[in-house]
Amino acid sequence: MALLSIVLPAYNEEQNIAVATKVLSKLLEENQIPYELVFVNDGSKDNTYQEIEKAAAANPNVKGACFSRNFGKEAAIFAGLELTTGDAVIVMDCDLQHPPETILKMWKLWQDGVEVVEGIKTSRGKESIFHKMSAGLFYKIMSKLIKMDMNASSDFKLLDRKVVNVLLELPERNTFFRALTFWAGFRTESVEYEVQERQFGESKWSFFSLMKYAVANATSFSTFPLQLVTVMGMTLILFSVILAVQTLVKYLMGTAVEGFTTVILLILIVGGFLMLSLGIIGHYIARIYEEVKGRPKYIISKVAGHVEGNVVGAWHKSSGE
Ligand code: UDP
Ligand code: MG
């Protein structure tokens, strides 16, 4: 019978590990779905990893890995995918904000031959207005830039083994899991779910970290900001032709004495555009630099439960075998 793997990234979630393990194992055992839970401790500052070890010792279907430091949720998701052995893999938050019952719907769809099941949020749950607004803005910009409707999408997904292998083969370091499954294609269906309230701990996203995430993902998925530089240049050239004609005419008519305001404005506008353009280009160069260095996405310092291959200290399963 097919095995279902569930990847759960965890950062400072000590209170959630035991609850998540209990709820998920109960649900899956009741529905007779063979499963494994893969926790990835993303450099937590609390006892998250000890909790994972405890869960792994008590339940043979639980395994986990510990990062050497905080590498971010994207890295944790990919490390989790790397450790899974299932025929279908679900990625979900370990704070149980993604309702576990939805797993059954996803599993059903997968059994019917669907290769990617996207979790779609019907509501954003209880979040502060500020958080809602910044998240709203974030998805608006993202959807425009990568030309996919990201508004309600989330990291809660089921992927067939084929899709997981495709994602794991990607050489890039700056990944954006949420959009990569759209990019990969395959037979996709979606299920709606309602975001639950967080029981323990707090959300790790601040306005600043969301913005950073937005910029990083926008530039990793789109070259539109670079084209924007060209558009800005075009606009300025058009503007300068008009001004040049006006200036020359004035000069020839012998009235070209004043014009400091124009000069000051031009210097400010051109200077602003130039620096902005350089910034955008610089950002892409920084991305290229990071990719070219080829550093691993994450470093695993130890593992709990039954993990195949030598993944500790190595970032790719095959490199350790
Ligand atoms: N997470 C992680 N690394 C991080 C931040 C978050 O692995 O650096 C995990 C976290 O433990 C949780 C999931 O990502 O399982 C979602 O995080 P959170 O609940 O803070 O985000 P929200 O639900 O508020 O969007
Ligand atoms: Mg959450």
pLDDT, one tens digit per residue, over 181-232 is: 888 888 888 888 888 887 777 777 777 777 777 777 777 777 888 888 888 8
42 lines ligand 1 (CB under 6 A): yes
Q: Mean pLDDT score of the chain, rounded to an integer?
A: 84
Closest-approaching ligand to the CA atom of 48? 1
Question: How crowded is the C-beta side of 55, counted as CA atoms within 13 Å?
Answer: 30
Atom of ligand 1 nearest to the CA of 13: 11
Nearest 10 degrees: Cα torsion 40, 46, 49, 50: -160
Q: What CA–CA distance (Å, rounded) separates 251 from 153?
A: 59
Q: What percent of the chain has pLDDT over 90?
A: 31
Q: What CA–CA distance (Å, rounded) separates 39 from 184?
A: 24
Atom of ligand 1 nearest to the CA of 97: 23
Say how many Å lie between the CA of residue 142 and the centre of ligand 2: 20
Atom of ligand 1 nearest to the CA of 12: 11
In three state form, how does the secondary structure of 194-228 look? ECCCCCCCCCCCCHHHHHHHHHHHHHHHCCHHHHH
Query: Residue 148: which pLDDT band, with cuts at 50, 70 and 90?
Result: low
CA 239 to chain CA mean position, Å:
40
Q: Whose CA is nearest to atom 3 of ligand 1?
A: 73
Taking only the tens place, the pLDDT of each residue in 72-118 is: 888 999 999 999 999 999 999 988 889 999 999 999 999 999 999 98
Q: For 46-60, 100-114, 258-272, which range has the lowest pLDDT when averaged over its residues?
A: 258-272
The answer to whether the CB of 3 falls within 8 A of the CB of 84 is no
pLDDT at 280: 87
Q: What CA–CA distance (Å, rounded) separates 216 from 218?
A: 6
Instruction: Ligand 1 pocket test: pick from 44, 49, 68, 93 the residue with the most ligand atoms within 8 Å of its Cβ.
Output: 93
What superfamily does domain 4-220+296-316 belong to in CATH?
Spore Coat Polysaccharide Biosynthesis Protein SpsA; Chain A (3.90.550.10)
Taking only the tens place, the pLDDT of each residue in 245-260 is: 888 888 888 877 667 7
88-91 and 153-160 as β-strands: parallel, antiparallel, unpaired?
antiparallel
pLDDT at 321: 38
203 lines ligand 1 (CB under 6 A): yes
The answer to whether the CB of 17 falls within 8 A of the CB of 93 is no
Say how many Å lie between the CA of residue 57 and the centre of ligand 2: 26
Q: What CA–CA distance (Å, rounded) separates 257 from 120?
A: 64
